[in-house]
Amino acid sequence: MNLDVRIKLIQSAAGIYQQFADSKGTVINMTIRERLLDISELNIEQIFMQMWKSDYDEYIQALNAFIEDFPKRERELRNTLEVKDYRSFSRCLVSIKDMLLLIHADELAEECMKQINGLVALKHEKVEAYMTYLLSVLTILSIDIQMALFKDGEEDAEDADDADEEDFSIEIMDGQGPRQRSILAVDDNVFLLDALKKTLQDTEYKLTAVNSGKAALKFIQNHSPDLFLLDIEMPEMDGYELAQRIRDFGTEAPIIFITGNATKEYVLKAIKADAADFIVKPVTQKQVLERISRFI
């Protein structure tokens, strides 16, 4: 029996298991499972096909442990690098690598191992640059996992109901093509707003940038953005409150929060504020365009 046939048989069996629980209990929460499968850093597709309920529960525990432990490892990594304690820095990277292996983020774990092995030959500036990159990737991973585990599954049920209906999309034409999608970005940091402007220039998106929640609310009195990019930590009105005020206006446009914080309490609060997704600082063009394109 060739590999393709075996995979199809496994997939078929997995489908049966999802509908009927046997004595070992094999039904997996499909909402969470599908969201986890959508995280490219997790190499779990083949693993999920063969999981019993007990294995799945153990994997969820490992994901929760990663969510809880990562902020501690992040602080440790920053502190050891600040004092140039490379021995402790390496130990911290090893612990992160071990966590990544437990959740089957194999490529990231391998990347950590490469850096650990080559750390002695690197200059401090290169180590700093690597750490900035690594922490950004791990923050994105942690937030994506939290979105998969904790975001309300109601919208997924609605999506499933709509899946059988024919999908119609209507574009407003101005004689030159589809309407340009509008985005409202709100951040008190002018440098981040400039970065977003540069990222979205010459794209199909029209960006309006304001530096306060008050200015954002004034803008939406007369405009209806297709998507919001909101910084969380802002004076006077933070992103959580602004998101609620936006919803009070009756707009249902997706809200993407901009953050550098992956702590569980922080992310859960954003999810409760109706976060559709997150963009992690420092922002990159690839990340911004990828996240935005999921919604508009």
Q: What percent of the chain has pLDDT over 90?
A: 63
Owning domain of residue 47: 1-152
How confident is the model at residue 120, as a pLDDT? 63
Go through the chain and tell me how many residues it has.
Answer: 296
Strand, helix or coil at 209? strand
- Whether residues 46 and 141 share a domain: the answer is yes
Same domain membership, residue 184 and residue 145: no
Within a domain: residue 166? no
Interior angle at CA 205, CA 202 and CA 210, nearest 5: 105
Residue 22 forms part of a structural domain: yes
| 19-43 mean pLDDT | 68
Q: Is residue 175 part of a domain?
A: no
| Domain end (from 152, 169, 189) | 152
Q: Which of 110, 137, 141, 108 is nearest to 36 (CA)?
A: 141
**Whether residue 86 has pLDDT greater than 60:** yes
Domain identity same for 239 and 105: no
Ranked by mean pLDDT, the top range of 4-13, 90-99, 149-158 is 90-99
Q: Is 237 exposed, middle or buried (0-12, 13-18, 19+ CB in 10 A)?
A: middle
Q: How many domains does the chain have?
A: 2
Residue 139 lies in a domain: yes
- Does 193 lie in the same domain as 124? no
| Locus of tokens 């969380």 | 232
Together in a domain, 127 and 36: yes
The CA radius of gyration of the chain, in Å to the nearest whole number, is 22
Give the mean model confidence (pLDDT) for residues 62-78: 95
* Same domain (yes/no): 16, 108: yes
Same domain for 189 and 144: no
Q: Are residues 192 and 286 in the same domain?
A: yes
Are both 189 and 236 inside the same structural domain? yes
Q: Which residue has the tokens 């199909």?
A: 204
Phi-psi region for residue 104, left (φ > 0), alpha (ψ -120 to 50) or beta? left
User: Quick one: CA dihedral 87, 91, 97, 101, positive or negative?
Assistant: positive
In this model, does residue 165 exceed pLDDT 70? Answer: no
Q: What angle do CA 119, 123, 125 make, to 5 degrees?
A: 110
Give the three-class secondary structure for 158.
helix
Who has greater pLDDT, 70 or 164? 70
Pair (196, 282) in one structural domain: yes
d(CA 242, CA 86): 42
Same domain, residue pair 1 and 146: yes
Q: Are residues 14 and 125 in the same domain?
A: yes
Q: Is residue 160 part of a domain?
A: no
pLDDT score of 21 more than 60: no
**Does any domain span residue 174?**
no
Q: How would you classify the pairing of strands 227-231 and 255-259?
A: parallel
Type of residue at 53: K
Classify residue 164: in a domain, yes or no. no
203-246 pLDDT per residue, tens: 999 999 999 999 999 999 999 999 999 999 999 999 999 999 99
**Torsion sign over Cα 115, 121, 126, 127:** positive
Tokens 């990594």: give the residue: 77
Residue 62 belongs to some domain of the structure: yes
Cα–Cα distance list, 5 to 13, 37, 265 (Å): 12, 21, 45
Q: How far apart are CA 128 and CA 81, in angstroms?
A: 8
CATH assignment at residue 201: 3.40.50.2300
Q: Which residue has the higher pLDDT, 268 or 162?
A: 268
